Amino acid sequence: MSIWRIHGGKSLYGDIKIQGAKNAVLPIMAATIITGCETELINCPQLSDVEAAMSILRHLGCIAQRDGDTVYINSHGMCRTDIPHELMREMRSSVIFLGAILARTHEAKMSYPGGCELGPRPIDLHLEALRSLGADIYDSGGCLHCSDRGLHGTRINLSFPSVGATENAMLAACAAEGETVITNAAREPEILDLQEFLRKLGVSIHGAGTPTITIDGFKPRSVVGHRVMTDRIASATALCCTASSKGCVTLKGVVPAHFETVTDALEYMGCDIERGRNSLKITAEKPLRAPKPIVTRPYPDFPTDAQPLLMAACLKAEGTTVFTENIFENRYRHVVELKRLGADISVVGRVAMVTGVQKLVGAQVSSADLRGGAALVTAALGAQGETVVYDAGHISRGYEGLSEMLISLGADVSVTSED
């Protein structure tokens, strides 16, 4: 258990470099097993989810080593096709390895990924896509058994632009005979980064970032180098921390277009935003007003992962902010904790109404999930007195050095760990 002690009221000032993207590097790490190649991943964030992915790679027989922000993977020695429950449990999104294992070995076995803090997290779209490529998949005792006698190109129409299902389909299609077209594909920037990596691997693939992705050939290369894109949600988190605490912060090495729905909302609230080619400066000195209604939808609309973070930044904004969470069924678990700080929030179904209050007062709170935990830290920065956030490892799954980053900007934060 990590215990964060935050004394709010300190404005944040300075420049920060944003980490590599968790949700880009995880599917790319899975992709490294498609051929027995050697991969060097640069700008790889130091996160427990990345460590979990490295453990899966080693279990499969691959070499996975870290040297600073570079991770070296050699999948030549892959000799297993199963992911045991204890490794699946460490990272719910381990299911993104399914398509890659199938593409390499034509068989895969993994425990059925259970639900998690955000809701049931089904994988029916993943399985439908893999079956249409020719995989036989059955569930026996909570375990998925997959095999194929050769994958064949096909047309995959996703009923929902699921990020994970799009990635699994892309990875399995690399080994399919003939052309595969994925329609209604997810358009997130992380999908583009995966396409970039697959092209370096020798895959003929195009369309990522649009609703239609085509994979039509593969001339495997044996050595690949790739720089992971910057994390757009970590960028949004830094911006919301600044809005909550006041101050002036410049984000370096970012792509402003990747999180413009968040910056648009913060600008409407009264923050000054200066966009550079690969930097962005936020100045939050004035009292804030509530943004227009926030509705989470697949990219390029407002990202569900930023909903808890912007909510934390809205708690003292004048007026009422209406949030509608369309992606996950259970993504308001941070609300009850924010109310302990004095926030005025009411939730009915998928809608959360946040009415700005004059002040927030520090309290003891607990994080229930990754972005909800970051939202508690964000709100604590703008609260009077000390807030203690009890976090059972959620925050470190997705943020590299969040406390160090905040301290470098002037926040009064300390983190200790207790068993």
Q: Is 148 near ligand EPZ (CB under 6 A)?
A: no
User: What amino acid occupies position 214?
Assistant: T
Give the burial class of 77: count Cβ atoms within 10 A of its Cβ; 0-12 exposed, 13-18 middle, 19 or more buried: exposed
Q: Is 121 near ligand EPZ (CB under 6 A)?
A: yes
CB-based burial, 78-111: b 16+ in 10 Å, e otherwise = beebbbeeebbebbbbbbbbbbbbbbbbbebbbb
User: What amino acid occupies position 86?
Assistant: E
Q: Is 327 near ligand EPZ (CB under 6 A)?
A: yes
DSSP code for 136: E
- Nearest distance in Å: CB 342, ligand EPZ: 26
Closer Cβ to ligand EPZ, 185 or 317, answer by number? 185
- Nearest distance in Å: CB 414, ligand EPZ: 25
Query: Binder to ligand EPZ among 104, 226, 334, 371 (CB under 6 A)?
Result: 371
Q: Is 370 near ligand EPZ (CB under 6 A)?
A: yes
Catalytic residue among 116, 174, 248, 271: 116
Query: Binder to ligand EPZ among 125, 171, 290, 310 (CB under 6 A)?
Result: 125
The SS3 assignment for 101 reads helix
Closer Cβ to ligand EPZ, 193 or 305, answer by number? 305
Q: Is 180 near ligand EPZ (CB under 6 A)?
A: no
Q: Which of these segments, 21-29, 59-67, 194-202, 264-272, binds ligand EPZ (CB under 6 A)?
A: 21-29
Q: What is the DSSP pairing of strand 247-252 with strand 12-17?
A: parallel
Give the burial class of 192: count Cβ atoms within 10 A of its Cβ; 0-12 exposed, 13-18 middle, 19 or more buried: middle
Q: What is the DSSP pairing of strand 320-325 with strand 386-391?
A: unpaired
Q: Is 124 near ligand EPZ (CB under 6 A)?
A: yes
Q: Nearest residue to ligand EPZ, using CB?
A: 164
Which residues are CB-contacts of 110 (< 8 A; sequence separation ≥ 6)? 82, 83, 88, 94, 95, 97, 98, 143, 144
- Nearest distance in Å: CB 120, ligand EPZ: 6
Q: Is 144 near ligand EPZ (CB under 6 A)?
A: no
Q: Is 35 near ligand EPZ (CB under 6 A)?
A: no
Question: Which of 59, 86, 69, 72 is closest to 29 using CA atoms?
Answer: 72
Per DSSP, the residues of 10-54 read --EEEEEEPPBPHHHHHHHHHHTTTTT-EEEEES----HHHHHHH
Closer Cβ to ligand EPZ, 93 or 250, answer by number? 93
What is the C-alpha separation between 41 and 178, in angstroms, rounded? 29
Q: Is 305 near ligand EPZ (CB under 6 A)?
A: yes
Query: Binder to ligand EPZ among 64, 71, 144, 165 (CB under 6 A)?
Result: 165
Q: Which of these segments, 22-30, 78-86, 308-316, 384-392, binds ligand EPZ (CB under 6 A)?
A: 22-30
CB 46 within 8 A of CB 400: yes
CB 26 within 8 A of CB 96: yes
Question: Which of 269, 234, 284 is closest to 254 using CA atoms?
Answer: 234
What is the C-alpha separation between 264 and 261, in angstroms, rounded? 5
Q: Is 139 near ligand EPZ (CB under 6 A)?
A: no
Q: Is 93 near ligand EPZ (CB under 6 A)?
A: yes
Q: Is 160 near ligand EPZ (CB under 6 A)?
A: yes
Q: Is 116 in the active site?
A: yes
Residue 281's φ and ψ, nearest 5 degrees, are: -115, 130
Closer Cβ to ligand EPZ, 105 or 304, answer by number? 304
Query: Binder to ligand EPZ among 4, 302, 328, 399 (CB under 6 A)?
Result: 328
- Nearest distance in Å: CB 159, ligand EPZ: 9
Q: Mind telling me the catalytic residues?
A: 116
Binding site for ligand EPZ (CB under 6 A): 22-23, 26, 93, 119, 121-126, 160, 162-165, 304-305, 327-328, 370-371, 398
